[in-house]
A and B are shown apart, each in its own frame.
Chain A
């Protein structure tokens, strides 16, 4: 199961993104709002850097002891009548879930937003069973109606504007109202309400599973996760194996970092928490509960220099500050996980073959690293990926040769000095008025959109040498 969305070359996706003015406007506006919100929240909270360090510590500790905490979690869930299934691959996870659905003879499934189910391609797998699956997160529902993919891990329909959404509702569900967000939301709410009441099975993702109590917690602004876990008789949680915290105390720290970083809110409107099966004195919740813990390549990162990628709490703030994402949009990454975290995580989970461009889709500006609430050194991990690709010998031949040259040049003061003498004449044929407008070889890509200042006759070192001589005379 590849994390790829479409079978097209990377450059094609980039071009599609760049040419999509609607999307770029929507993304740029949203980035501005999210960024301002996050900075305001960080300032209000105070000591933001200390909170980030605490977040990093919690994540590091938890992932370092992930076996212990997963064991504790599964014991607690089983104690509360739940079944726990460890899926090594996407296929294993999907077939377990399909089996549950088939045993229940389910007609309708409601889901709350979950990136891991996107990752394992659960909806496609469920389509084979003939069961109707309804996404209940508003953004996800819009995309489901359109057959589109999320372009952001927190706000999946970020690339859509309200007019596009009105059209989709009109075409797919006979909506006749305006493109006012309130009216659109009210319409969706009404439509989804009947789905909730009819569903036999609910499926949610998981923001933080609490190991000490076996509780699954979720943050939403729509409260849909509450409907998903309370109404249907059968409930399935799908979680990436690293989505875990030791106790409620750490959850409290991380959830504050998450909501502030994700959407610039102190807390989201709803924090949903449920534990195992319904108990006798409880009036809602499932009678049958399954927790599916997904590895799907995550173990690849354990004990390696990529382990910190598992610290991610999926807040999306690295995406919200990324200038590359702003210009090309989420789909251009051609992975379930877009943006800086996507560029880091996707090759870890899924290898380089399908995603070899991702580590290069960054200017290494470090805005992501600066924004990450759990201090994942994202841009450094992109360099690490590049190192792996070089080690594997998978870079283009011309680049290898050029870099060999660069290595010799930087490693030898003699060769380097020669280059300072030759640069001017070497580029002379392309130089006019001290400017190069149409450069040769690798400079072509540069001069396609910008001029290049030509190297002057005298390098700095030769000036300094002469100056010293003059001084001595």
Chain B
């Protein structure tokens, strides 16, 4: 199966390991992975700030970049969620509505793709450690992916999985929200950090680097010893 990787701008620039792990997992599962280099950002920062025209520029570029792809897979519930919204953004646009629909229909979040499209529930990885999972808001509520990441995590050999209390609560990232309303965002991430600490987990995993960068940055600032990592790192470990 041919898969085009949608790296997301944040992982492209800040967290390249997420991309590396994603590529290796998909290849191990028998996919042929390519990377369309014309891709940029899904447009969410501008879109969520109300800058529709600026966002559309990005979105059109993404549609162009993945025009020929069979499947598009990205390691982020939020960014994939944004692409799934494209048809709504371009509704009534005679030129862009249809290509937007096509892109939305073939784009999947990594764990969603593995479980729902490839039909794989165990990626065959081994990981030793106590792990908790933050189900990010856009992954669960906008994209509707709730079970896939947990199924995959629970099938990792050697893992000790613990539920995160009040996991469904937002970590306070919210893209530009974190710098536009920093006081509120700060209280939210402090609460999230408290909940993670309560679990006694050594690792916090998630499927969205924006949220993880927020929670991880806060926990590091608090001097907490929890390692905050993307789910692809666990799914690509064989120790």
Contact = CB atoms under 8 A, between A and B. Distances in A.
B50 A323 contact: no
A318 B176 CA distance: 22
A407 B46 contact: yes
A185 interface: no
B183 A463 contact: no
A419 interface: yes
B16 A387 contact: no
A455 B57 contact: no
Contacts of A448: 182, 186
A363 B189 contact: no
B87 interface: no
Contacts, number: 195
A395 interface: yes
A67 to B, nearest CB: 27
Contact of A399 (B9, B49, B53): B49
Given A411-B40, A450-B218, A459 B213 contact: no
A344 B175 CA distance: 20
A18 B183 contact: yes
Nearest to A384: B50
Contacts of B53: 407
B58 A411 contact: yes
B174 A364 contact: yes
B52 A387 contact: yes
A456 B96 CA distance: 36
B61 A412 contact: yes
Interface string B43-83: 10111111111110110110001000000000000000000
A98 B190 CA distance: 49
A403 interface: yes
B61 A420 contact: no
Q: Which of A452, A459, A460 has the most CB of B within 10 A?
A: A460
B112 interface: no
A364 B136 CA distance: 12
Interface string A324-364: 10011000000000000000000000000000000111111
B184 interface: yes
A384 to B, nearest CB: 8
Given A14-B184, A403-B49, A445-B179, A464 B174 contact: no
Contact of B46 (A403, A417, A420): A403
A453 B184 contact: no
Contacts of B46: 403, 406-407, 410
B184 A361 contact: yes
Given A324-B188, A403-B46, A410-B46, A464 B19 contact: yes
A369 B141 contact: yes
Contact of B65 (A364, A383, A387, A413): A413
Contact of B170 (A367, A389, A395, A412): A367
Given A407-B53, A411-B61, A420-B13, A460 B20 contact: yes
Contact of A410 (B40, B178, B213): B40
Nearest to B50: A386
Contact of B177 (A11, A362, A413): A362
B15 interface: yes
B7 interface: yes
Interface string B155-199: 000000000000011101111011111111111111100000000
Contacts of A437: 221
Contacts of A442: 179
A461 B35 contact: yes
Q: Which of A328, A411, A445 has the most CB of B within 10 A?
A: A411
Interface string A409-451: 1111100110110010000000000010100001101101111
Q: Which of A360, A389, A410, A412 has the most CB of B within 10 A?
A: A410
Given A363-B137, A407-B53, A416-B41, A386 B48 contact: yes
B186 A390 contact: no
Given A406-B46, A453-B213, A464-B23, A324 B137 contact: no
Contact of A455 (B13, B37, B138, B189): B13
A360 B181 contact: yes
A390 B220 CA distance: 35
Contacts of A403: 46, 49, 51, 54
A448 B23 CA distance: 35
Interface string B198-239: 000000000000000110111011000000000000000000
B123 interface: no
B43 A420 contact: no
Contact of A18 (B54, B169, B172, B187): B187
A126 B183 CA distance: 38
A370 interface: yes
B7 to A, nearest CB: 5
A409 B40 contact: yes
Interface string A394-405: 010001000110
B238 to A, nearest CB: 19
B193 to A, nearest CB: 9
Given A413-B39, A463-B19, A449 B218 contact: yes
A177 to B, nearest CB: 36
A458 interface: yes
A363 B14 contact: no
B12 interface: yes
B232 to A, nearest CB: 12
A256 interface: no
Interface string B128-155: 0000000001100110000000000000
B117 interface: no
Contacts of B43: 410
A323 B49 contact: no
Contact of B37 (A359, A361, A413): A413
Given A324-B184, A383-B50, A407-B58, 17 more contacts: A324-B188, A363-B177, A365-B137, A366-B138, A367-B141, A370-B141, A390-B49, A395-B50, A407-B55, A411-B60, A412-B61, A413-B40, A413-B65, A453-B14, A459-B13, A459-B16, A464-B19
27 contacts: A18-B184, A323-B169, A323-B188, A327-B184, A359-B50, A361-B184, A363-B178, A363-B188, A367-B169, A386-B48, A386-B49, A390-B50, A390-B52, A395-B50, A407-B46, A410-B9, A413-B65, A437-B221, A445-B182, A449-B182, A450-B221, A451-B216, A453-B14, A456-B14, A460-B7, A460-B12, A464-B35
Task: List 3 A-B pairs, minimum CB-CB distance, nearest first.
Answer: A386-B50, A363-B174, A407-B54
